[in-house]
């Protein structure tokens, strides 16, 4: 660019090579490769497409049926709730926000890693994101779907949920624009929409590759199909596949113009998604922080919730990706380096959450407000102390193990720790929501909140729903963004440096 060149000469004057450059002798501490064993483009394509093109493995069916069965618990819970009323969720004075809001925040938090990896790490030029972004984005969308269920049904008469939107004033009632719950409607629906767009758009080149491979795979299958019935089935099935991937890839031909538009759109979406990622959990934190309730009204909530969301999101990415990596043999694409990076992000964000816990406690004392002070002492030593200490051990202590290389390299341990993070982050929301409500300003109101069986069923089932959606994703869509992985491989770097 000519202007840049001009500015260059403004900054550095004439191009006489400074002496100090002659002394430059970089120490040899090479960066770890993003793809191990020097895998070729062909190998990468076949590896990732193979997941979608091979026969459905038995474990997939087993997992799918189990997840579907678990998901039916949510269906049962919701059916019972709709036919009876929200009272079946164990909500009563003073705890009118119970598990529903806890589960909502839990799932929406998990839904933060995907877009963070795709958007923020893209802006930060962290190339390692390419191996994990696709699955993390899928996870984001499914988590947002699970999250949406809870506030949707919490409104009671779910068939009136559309009143949440500021539609023309047919009912002579507008939603309360001052309520952060209304902001949630906008924040979460915008986030969901943009995440789906981002995910889908990023997938187009990979979908086109799968589309282009359909005839080749079809011939292989036909050659192996013994009976005429089998052949008819393959013909029908591959006709469907051709249509399915053909429509989804939107005529992608991989031309220069396609790629240039794609890159620009990706950058724009990354720029748009970055404030969105932060705003969603900020608004979720406002759900609590704008209430004048001890333990909820504290100014650090917005960044603290965002850090917690990233923490839980990366916890879930590790929980999902480690088994998939082992099952599909993706060790060369999702390397130890990727796992190190994710573990370190968990360590960093977990420690930020720990900082916020400490700061809340300190300011509750320093603020010298007896109600605030009580709320925190009550959290740590009151009736819900068990939940508080589960939260502290899982969220603050667990990630500290990631300081050690041997822990990060012991994948069983990483997986177990990542599960602890998921548990801890659920308990964080439980502690925040329930302890402040159950012991509020009026001691005569105090109660010990216990969930009902409907609460437990509904929440348990969402894991099944999440699993079903994720398994479908694994089976039918490209699990890794292999076009992007190729772009960061050594073979793509024609200049041979970094």
Partner 1 sequence: MSTSSDVISPSGSAAADRGSGNKSFLFLIVGLVLIALSAIGLFTGSETDPARPFVGWILGISFWLSILIGMLFLTMIWWMFDAGWSVIIRRQLEHAVGAFPYLALIFLPLVLLSVLSGDKTGIPWIWMNSDAIVPGGHGTVAHDVLYQSKAGYLGQGFFIVRYVLYFGVWTTLALLFRRWSFNMDRTGDHSNVHRSRKLAAAGLFLCAFATTFAAIDWFKSLNYHWFSTMYGVWFFAACMRAGLSATVLTLFYMAGREDGLKGIIKPAHFYLMGCIMLAFTVFWAYISFSQYFLIYNANIPEETFWYNMRELNADGSKNSWWWVSMGLIFLHFFVPFLYLLWYRNKFAARLRFIAIWILTFHLLDLYWNIVPQKLAEDSHGHYMIRPFGISWVDVTMFLGVGAIVIWSFLKSAARERPIPIRDPRIEESINCHE
Residues that bind partner 1 (CB under 8 A): 3-4, 7-8, 10-21, 23-31, 123-124, 126, 275, 278, 282, 286, 289-290, 292, 297-303, 351, 355-356, 359-360, 363, 366-369, 403, 497-498
- Distance of alpha carbon 348 from alpha carbon 483, whole angstroms: 30
Q: Would you say 164 and 132 are in contact if contact means Cβ atoms under 8 Å apart? A: no
**Closer CB to partner 1, 174 or 362, in the complex:** 362
**Closer CB to partner 1, 11 or 494, in the complex:** 11
**Closer CB to partner 1, 234 or 440, in the complex:** 440
Q: Would you say 142 and 474 are in contact if contact means Cβ atoms under 8 Å apart? A: no
Q: Which two tokens stand for residue 135?
A: 């699955």
List helix spans (H) across 155-255.
180-224, 228-248
CA atoms within 13 A on the CB side of 54: 12
**Closer CB to partner 1, 2 or 227, in the complex:** 2
Integer-rounded Cα Rg, in Å, for the chain is 26
DSSP 8-state secondary structure symbol assigned to residue 173: -
Backbone angles phi, psi at 92, to 5 degrees: -155, 165
Q: Which two tokens stand for residue 261?
A: 């538009």
Quote the least distance from Cβ 307 to partner 1, whole Å.
Answer: 10
**Closer CB to partner 1, 107 or 301, in the complex:** 301
With H, G, I as helix, E, B as strand and everything else as coil, classify residue 451: coil
Stated as kind and residue range, the H or E segment containing 389 is helix 385-392
**Closer CB to partner 1, 207 or 270, in the complex:** 270
Quote the least distance from Cβ 355 to partner 1, whole Å.
Answer: 7
Q: Would you say 89 and 98 are in contact if contact means Cβ atoms under 8 Å apart? A: yes
Q: Which two tokens stand for residue 37?
A: 């064993």
Q: Would you say 418 and 347 are in contact if contact means Cβ atoms under 8 Å apart? A: no
- Distance of alpha carbon 128 from alpha carbon 98, whole angstroms: 39
**Closer CB to partner 1, 90 or 399, in the complex:** 399
Beta bridge partners of 92: 95
Quote the least distance from Cβ 442 to partner 1, whole Å.
Answer: 18
Quote the least distance from Cβ 96 to partner 1, whole Å.
Answer: 20
Quote the least distance from Cβ 284 to partner 1, whole Å.
Answer: 13
- Distance of alpha carbon 136 from alpha carbon 129, whole angstroms: 10
**Closer CB to partner 1, 62 or 123, in the complex:** 123
CA-CA-CA-CA torsion sign (134, 136, 139, 144): negative
Quote the least distance from Cβ 301 to partner 1, whole Å.
Answer: 7
Quote the least distance from Cβ 109 to partner 1, whole Å.
Answer: 18
Quote the least distance from Cβ 405 to partner 1, whole Å.
Answer: 11
**Closer CB to partner 1, 27 or 223, in the complex:** 27
- Distance of alpha carbon 263 from alpha carbon 274, whole angstroms: 16
Quote the least distance from Cβ 452 to partner 1, whole Å.
Answer: 32
């Amino acid at each position: 660019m000519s202007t840049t060149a001009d500015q260059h000469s403004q900054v550095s004057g004439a191009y006489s090579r400074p002496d100090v450059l002659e002394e430059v002798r970089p120490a040899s501490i090479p960066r770890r490769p993003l793809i191990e064993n020097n895998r070729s483009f062909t190998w990468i394509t076949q590896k990732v497409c193979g997941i979608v093109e091979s026969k459905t493995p038995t474990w997939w069916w087993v997992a799918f049926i189990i997840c579907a069965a678990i998901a039916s618990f949510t269906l049962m819970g919701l059916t019972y709730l709709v036919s009876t009323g929200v009272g079946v969720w164990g909500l009563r004075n003073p705890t009118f926000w119970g598990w529903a809001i806890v589960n909502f925040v839990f799932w929406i938090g998990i839904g933060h890693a995907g877009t963070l990896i795709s958007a923020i790490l893209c802006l930060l030029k962290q190339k390692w994101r390419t191996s994990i972004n696709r699955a993390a984005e899928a996870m984001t969308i499914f988590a947002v779907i699970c999250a949406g269920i809870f506030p949707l049904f919490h409104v009671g008469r779910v068939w009136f949920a559309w009143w949440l939107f500021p539609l023309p004033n047919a009912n002579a009632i507008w939603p309360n624009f001052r309520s952060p719950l209304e902001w949630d409607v906008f924040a979460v629906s915008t986030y969901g929409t943009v995440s789906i767009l981002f995910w889908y758009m990023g997938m187009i080149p990979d979908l086109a590759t799968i589309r282009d491979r359909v005839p080749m795979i079809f011939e292989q299958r036909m050659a192996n199909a013994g009976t005429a019935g089998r052949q008819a089935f393959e013909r029908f099935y591959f006709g469907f596949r051709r249509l399915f991937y053909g429509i989804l890839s939107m005529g992608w031909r991989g031309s220069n113009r396609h790629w240039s538009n794609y890159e620009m759109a990706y950058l724009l979406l990354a720029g748009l998604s970055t404030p969105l990622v932060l705003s969603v959990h900020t608004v979720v934190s406002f759900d609590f922080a704008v209430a004048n309730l001890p333990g909820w009204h504290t100014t650090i909530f917005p960044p603290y919730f965002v850090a917690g969301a990233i923490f839980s999101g990366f916890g879930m990415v590790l929980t999902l990706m480690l088994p998939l990596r082992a099952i599909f043999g993706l060790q060369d694409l999702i390397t130890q380096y990727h796992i190190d990076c994710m573990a370190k992000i968990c360590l960093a964000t977990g420690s930020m959450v720990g900082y916020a816990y400490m700061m809340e406690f300190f300011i509750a004392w320093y603020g010298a407000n007896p109600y605030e002070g009580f709320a925190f002492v009550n959290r740590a030593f009151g009736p819900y102390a068990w939940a508080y200490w589960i939260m502290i051990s899982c969220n603050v202590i667990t990630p500290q193990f990631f300081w050690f290389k041997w822990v990060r390299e012991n994948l069983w341990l990483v997986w177990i720790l990542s599960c602890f993070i998921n548990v801890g982050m659920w308990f964080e929301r439980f502690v925040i929501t329930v302890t402040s409500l159950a012991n509020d300003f009026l001691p005569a109101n105090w109660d010990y909140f216990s969930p009902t069986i409907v609460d437990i069923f509904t929440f348990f089932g969402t894991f099944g729903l999440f699993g079903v959606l994720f398994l479908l994703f694994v089976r039918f869509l490209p699990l890794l963004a292999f076009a992007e992985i190729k772009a960061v491989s050594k073979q793509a770097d024609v200049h041979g440096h970094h």
